[in-house]
Copies of this chain bind each other. A is one copy, B any other.
Amino acid sequence: MIPVTKPYLPSLDKYKHLLDGIYQRHWLTNAGPLTKELTIRLEEYLGVKNLLLVSNGTLALQVAMKALKLPEQSKIVTTPFTFVATSGAIAWEGHQTHFSDINSKSLNLCSEQLLEHHQSAEALMGVHVFGNPCDVNKLDALKHLFGNKVIYDAAHAFSVQYQGQSVLNYGDASTLSFHATKLFHTVEGGAIVFKHNDDFELAKQIINFGLDNQGQGLPEIVGINAKMSEMHAAMGLAVLDDIEFIIAKRLALIEQYKHLLAGVVEFQQWHINSQSNGAYMPVVFKDEAELLNVLTALNSESIFPRRYFYPSLNTSKAFDNGQRCPVSESIASKILCLPLYVDLEESQVKIICKLIIQNISQ
């Protein structure tokens, strides 16, 4: 069986050794030493500051919105071509999702369309979809023009650079997901990177029940529990040791896919000022019929790519608000993410590509 993804497992001995330390210290959660160590190492590796580890990537979005003090029921412009968590977090926090269509090549928010939608919005939530950076300079310019907040859902964009620095340094806040299936993971987990120190300090309080961090630990503001445990931080430390190997292996597989499928399917156009981090392998078919044909053929050989992201959220039962986004709807109907994980073998990629080519309408 070839799944679309498989969690990366670092050395079990190393993970167990980290566990020994947790047992010795008797410190299992609540900003423990491994969580602190992971924070420092991630800030250094990613080239960011004000990084806050949290329990998962969806909570990262929820906490970011609270820390940026968005007014109640804010209108938030976002993309319909993303994982459900982006719009889910907006709606859960009581805000209004306003979809803006995507560019058919980058698969990110289309800057021209945004201009129209952005003016009346309190905030913008961009998504670096499949790790490909949004047009962050244009989006940040809109922010300065209209004075609203910008959050980037960077769930896929671990280690992505843009114009020579981390893409996480743009906007007011960027959020990461460290779910088990991600390039870098902590079993369940996530992080927020804040531009401004004040927002970061507020978020630290928010994820610890709103207790006063400095003084006596009394309830000062409204908060929840979004803390990362030491068991999860330990996994992050072990995975981070191997991150260069993980990315190199994934990029090599992507190269192989692209070589074998050139001219057969379309690929996402990566931003000219950035390079792929090897997070996903999306391919765009001519139409949904072609996709379904290929999918059936692959499934019958126990190969399970996934329809990321289907359907376009503006047409989903949960988020259909009557808005139409023709580009996103079209892309969502004919895009497939192919299997991509460190253990995947070149011979398996060959088989997958051969099946795709055989089952595509010419």
Contacts and interface: CB of A to CB of B under 8 A. Distances in A.
Contact of A57 (B187, B211, B225, B230): B225
A196 B122 CA distance: 39
Q: How many copies of the shown chain assemble into the complex?
A: 2
A92 B224 contact: yes
Contacts of A218: 310-311, 316-317
A210 B15 contact: no
A28 B12 contact: no
Contacts of A94: 72, 94
Contact count band on A: 35 or more
Contacts of A311: 218
A188 B29 contact: yes
Nearest to A227: B188
Interface in A271-288: none
Interface in A284-322: 310-311, 313, 316-319
18 contacts: A7-B26, A12-B20, A12-B23, A55-B55, A57-B225, A58-B224, A59-B224, A72-B94, A83-B209, A84-B210, A85-B225, A88-B210, A91-B222, A187-B229, A218-B311, A219-B313, A219-B319, A220-B316
Nearest to A212: B317
A344 interface: no
A231 interface: yes
A62 interface: yes
Contact of A84 (B20, B92, B219): B219
A69 interface: no
A29 B179 contact: yes
A32 B209 CA distance: 28
